[in-house]
């Protein structure tokens, strides 16, 4: 986990990103905040990690006060989550987080040359693009690794593909079997 910012101030004074990356499948969760306190990190963990994927075994973060507070340490202790911290003088030790942060910032800059304050609105699109793009290290998309299937992207809805037609045929066969019973 890492904090990115400050970024250009967006509506509701949001200027920071809290970013979490799964080390196995490279799935990224990110949320915008005006400021980030330990209680925000805890809420983020429940909403974006635990409720979606379950309790992680380990969290790797920097030594920021949000991650090193007594409240956050107790939260992790109660859920049996191991905390691991990158070295303050050597943030590259949490290289995956630094790489993801750079990727998100680059994507935000490309999309928002003129409207820098709209980055919060654009964030879900950037996360979707990242999650559905094959990674070099895995050869698969984070979506496919997380859900064991490829995402059906909006262009496939209007244009039938072998995959979407196969799903429709399987659904039709299942419905037919239910109606015959």
Q: Which domains does the chain have, with CATH numbers?
A: 2-147 (3.30.420.10), 152-181 (no CATH)
Q: What is the pLDDT along the chain (181 residues), one digit of tens a residue?
A: 999 989 888 889 999 999 999 988 999 999 999 999 999 999 999 999 999 999 999 999 888 899 999 999 999 999 999 998 876 655 555 667 778 878 888 887 777 776 677 889 989 989 999 999 998 888 999 999 999 988 877 766 666 666 666 666 677 677 777 777 6
Residue with token string 């905390």:
83
pLDDT of residue 127: 93
- Which positions ≥6 away from 142 have C-beta within 8 Å? 22, 25, 26, 27, 28, 130, 131, 132, 135
**Rounded CA separation 137/44 (Å):** 27
pLDDT of residue 28: 94
pLDDT of residue 137: 83
pLDDT of residue 93: 56
Residue with token string 């992680």:
56
pTM score of the predicted model: 0.77
Instruction: Decide if 11 contacts 37 (C-beta within 8 A).
Output: no
Report the interhelical angle of 119-131 vs 95-111 (nearest 10°): 120
pLDDT of residue 12: 92
Cα 86 to Cα 64, 91, 97, 106, distances in angstroms: 10, 6, 10, 23
Residue 77: which of 54, 47, 55, 51 has the closest Cα?
55
């Amino acid at each position: 986990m890492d904090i990115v910012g400050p970024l250009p101030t967006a509506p509701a004074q949001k200027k920071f990103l809290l970013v979490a990356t799964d080390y196995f499948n490279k799935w990224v969760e990110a949320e915008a905040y005006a400021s980030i306190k330990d209680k925000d990190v805890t809420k983020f963990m429940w909403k974006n990690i635990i409720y979606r994927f379950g309790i992680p075994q380990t969290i790797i973060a920097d030594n920021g006060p949000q991650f090193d507070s007594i409240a956050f340490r107790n939260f992790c202790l109660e859920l049996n989550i191991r905390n691991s911290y990158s070295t303050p003088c050597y943030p590259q030790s949490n290289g995956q987080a630094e790489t993801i942060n750079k990727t998100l910032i680059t994507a935000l800059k490309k999309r928002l040359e003129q409207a820098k304050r709209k980055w919060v609105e654009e964030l879900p699109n950037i996360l979707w693009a990242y999650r559905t793009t094959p990674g070099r290290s895995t050869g698969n998309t984070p979506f496919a690794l997380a859900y064991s299937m490829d995402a059906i992207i909006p262009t496939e809805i209007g244009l039938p593909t072998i995959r979407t037609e196969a799903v429709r045929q399987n659904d039709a066969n299942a419905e037919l079997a239910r109606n015959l019973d």
